Amino acid sequence: MLRIHFDSEDLARTTVAPSADVLWEILLSLHALQERNEEVALDGWRRRTRPLIPASLRPLLEIAPPRGYSADFLTPTRGTADLGEGVDRILATTPNELTRDFTELARQGGTPFIARSLDGREAVRRVAHDVDRFFKIALAPYWKQISRDIEAERTRLVRILADHGVERLLGSLHPYARWEHPVLHVDHYVDQDVTLGGRGLVLVPSFFCRHHPITLRDPELPPLLVFPIGRRTWLGRPQTGEQGGTKQLEGLLGRTRTTVLKTAMTGCSTTDIARAAGISAASVSHHTKVLREAGLITTRRDGYSVCHEITDLGLSLLTSAANRPIRQPRPMPEGLNRQAI
């Protein structure tokens, strides 16, 4: 079990990351790519991405295994969406940080290839290059959707924080996380205590984090908690532009109602929908009523505001319209299967 210990200063300094963290999504998608369990939301992405991963990226997979310890220096950021900035932070890895991570990796499964074959600075440059390359192959075609889903979760968290305070927020992160003042407990985790000591905690919602919230191993690093978002849309095919497949859905629902449904993917107010669809608030009420009665969205009142959210049925309808059938996967590059075992 993970236990994160707060004092009053830590509660006051707890924040939600300002955006998707590109380096954490890279690390956790490396985990997901190597795992065997085929979650529906990631199934299409895995099948399309695995054949594209060249053998030259195997050293990167080696320092980011799906189970056990992954190198902390791969994720030095806490909510940085800019890949260039993230790569620069990796390049700033110190020799001590590199030695710490390679020692821990050797303890659990042998010295990594890049530690055996390259000196420290060359190893860091190789990793930074491979991280950039992996992102362009595996995540860049889907980044708009990934960022949108993370932003929807961030919006939910910020609303909880604004309306109910930080302790309610900490108790609303994930089914495995429970708040018992002054400790946040995370079940199904290695036994670890993190004492914040006045530094506060950054909460980082993640698309590719799947099983339970996670944190860094080194207690001296800036504290954060990465956790799975509550709703992920299906990564069925790369996005090369706006989703043209929804034209067929517009023929069924109409353009305005389709826009309302798409806007509700992030959880939104009546004003948000009116702005997105270019219609009046009264018209929004009519369209949301129709969609609600069809089981495609839900509407709930939160204080003086109203929040419209897409249902699983609505999400299935929208993603089915927006994604073409997926071709059968080609054989994976030699060696990648061994990483997944």
What pLDDT band is residue 300 in, cutting at 50, 70 and 90? confident
Domain with CATH 1.10.10.10 in the chain: 246-322
Dihedral sign of CA atoms 39, 33, 95, 84 in order: negative
| pLDDT computed for residue 73 by the predictor | 93
Q: What is the DSSP letter of 261?
A: H
Question: Yes or no: is domain 246-322 CATH 1.10.10.10?
Answer: yes
pLDDT (mean) for 156-171:
91
Question: Cα 94 to chain center, whole Å?
Answer: 27
pLDDT of residue 180 exceeding 80, the answer is yes
Tokens 């960022």 found at: 147
Short-list 248, 336, 267, 280, CA closest to 51: 336
pLDDT of residue 325 exceeding 50, the answer is no
pLDDT of residue 335 exceeding 50, the answer is no
